[in-house]
Amino acid sequence: MTLLARPTLAPGEAVWVRVALAAVALLSLSTLPSAPSLDFPVGLAAAVDLGVIGSAAGRVVIVVGALLGALLLVRGGGRRRLAAAVGLLLLPQLLAATAWNSQGFAHHGHQAVTLALAGACIAVLIDDVGDESSLLFGAQLLVASCYLGAGVAKMVEGAGFAFVTDAPLLAVEVVKTARQHQADHALAMDDVDRAHAVATWILAHPHVARAAAAGTILLEVSVWLGVGSFGRGALIGVLVVAMHRAILAVMGLSFPLWELLVIACFVRPLAAIGALRARERRLGA
Amino acid sequence: MRARPRVALVVAVFAVVGPVVIGRIVGEQYPFSPLSMYAVPGPRRQVVLLVDGEARPLPIVALTGVSAARLEKRLRREIQREPVGAVARTLAFLSSSAQRAGTPLPVGARLTLIELVVADGGVSERPAILEDR
């Protein structure tokens, strides 16, 4: 079993990799409105004044730069062109997301996109091949790193397995997210009442909550096993998307950027279609 | 990678583990993060609400573009930085966001707090007073 190897692309998947990375980056940017204040600067914003990002002119530069990067990436090319295109896409996304995260609240989906683009950019520069498989390899490594980080945090900050043993207490998070959603739009209390019922059920079935929590940690620290292998990657990718969907159903928390990254980098629909066609050919022969 | 396969494997391992270690060391420094959201389950949580002068909830997203989840994080950061005046500063942030959105906050708008506590096999809601020190 080869681990952490560069993936082999299916026919036509090179275009998919380029389009998918460009689409995820643009989607991330489209959900990043101008930050009105940078009162809690993080990352680059702690060293450089990114206030200009919030101005109308700054926004135009960000959008034009990202669109240009996306177009160049979709067009494709050799190692240097791919690296330049991903770099051009990465820079505006990094600046806009850094500014957004400097308002006192973090959004980790944008962080995963930034790291995936950075991984793709570096990989295509230093990898032997320097094509779309290198882009995918770099993105896979960094997406896996993000999930590993989330799993490690649960073990380190929970001082062992408190995340698992105390998992029934996540019931309060169910009510909290429902209450926040209700507050967002001053809605009726129907969803909050439903959340209270779900929370009561979770507290009455602590072992179910603990099993789900244990499965979550196990999956998060296992994503790296899917790097380089279509079969393992697709299996882990589908499980991760199912995990996010389950969290959405129970807690009302959505993870669109994470899901898209996992689908683009691990589930790889074109590779799945290619594998199915190859199987049909083998059976037909 | 261009060098020997063993070096390539080391680079790949570093790519996976490196950001995790950096995030644990530097904390929330975009694009690095300890990713500690929901890492420690607890029996108490708080929800911060934007209400009008008669304590009726206001649709905070439509007015300011800031969600209640972000409001709570912002208030927590303000308190960590300087507890005195943290509520007023957070309200001022919301007010400036509302001005930018072209939907000024109504006169008398303020923040309130609801404490959520695991108790008696369920989660109870307890309104709490949110005042600056």
Q: Does B111 touch chain A (CB under 8 A)?
A: no
Yes or no: say if A108 and A92 are a contact pair by the CB < 8 Å rule: no
Chain B residues whose CB is inside 8 A of the A199 CB are 122-123
Q: Does B102 touch chain A (CB under 8 A)?
A: no
Q: Does A139 touch chain B (CB under 8 A)?
A: no
Residue A274: pLDDT over 60:
yes
Residue B1: pLDDT over 70:
no
Q: Does B35 touch chain A (CB under 8 A)?
A: yes
Provide the percentage of residues in chain B whose pLDDT is more than 70. 96
Residue A3: pLDDT over 90:
no
Summarize the confidence of residues B68-95 as an average pLDDT.
93
Chain B residues whose CB is inside 8 A of the A177 CB are 69
**What's the whole-number average pLDDT of chain A?**
92
How big is chain B, counted in residues? 133
- CA R_g for chain A: 21
Which pLDDT score, from 0 to 100, does residue A273 have? 85
- Of A280-284, B2-6, B99-103, least confident by mean pLDDT is B2-6
Yes or no: say if B53 and B106 are a contact pair by the CB < 8 Å rule: yes
Q: Does B34 touch chain A (CB under 8 A)?
A: yes
The encoded tokens of residue A123 equal 């990989």
Q: pTM for the complete prediction?
A: 0.92
Residue B131: pLDDT over 90:
no
Q: pLDDT confidence of B91, banded at 50, 70, 90?
A: very high
Which pLDDT score, from 0 to 100, does residue A35 have? 66
Distance from CA of B101 to the nearest CA of A (A): 10
Chain A residues whose CB is inside 8 A of the B67 CB are 180, 184
- The contacts of residue A201 (CB under 8 Å, 6+ apart) are none
Q: Does B101 touch chain A (CB under 8 A)?
A: no
Yes or no: say if A233 and A268 are a contact pair by the CB < 8 Å rule: yes
Distance from CA of A280 to the nearest CA of B (A): 34
* Tens-place pLDDT, residues A23-77: 999 999 998 877 667 889 999 999 998 888 878 888 899 999 999 999 999 999 9
Summarize the confidence of residues B110-121 as an average pLDDT.
94
Q: In whole angstroms, what is the distance from residue A130 CA to residue A16 CA?
A: 16
Question: Considering only alpha carbons, which residue of chain B is nearest residue A160?
Answer: B40
Distance from CA of B130 to the nearest CA of A (A): 16
Residue B19: pLDDT over 80:
yes
Provide the percentage of residues in chain A whose pLDDT is more than 70. 98
Distance from CA of B87 to the nearest CA of A (A): 14
- The contacts of residue A262 (CB under 8 Å, 6+ apart) are A143, A237, A240, A241
Cross-strand bridge partners of residue B116: B45, B125
Q: Which helix (H) or strand (E) holds B47?
A: strand B44-51
* Facing residue for B118 by CB, picked from A40, A167, A203: A203
Torsion of CA B71, B77, B81, B87, to 10 degrees: 20
Which pLDDT score, from 0 to 100, does residue A246 have? 96
Yes or no: say if A38 and A102 are a contact pair by the CB < 8 Å rule: yes
* Tens-place pLDDT, residues A130-165: 999 999 999 999 999 999 999 999 999 876 689 999
The encoded tokens of residue B90 equal 């957070």
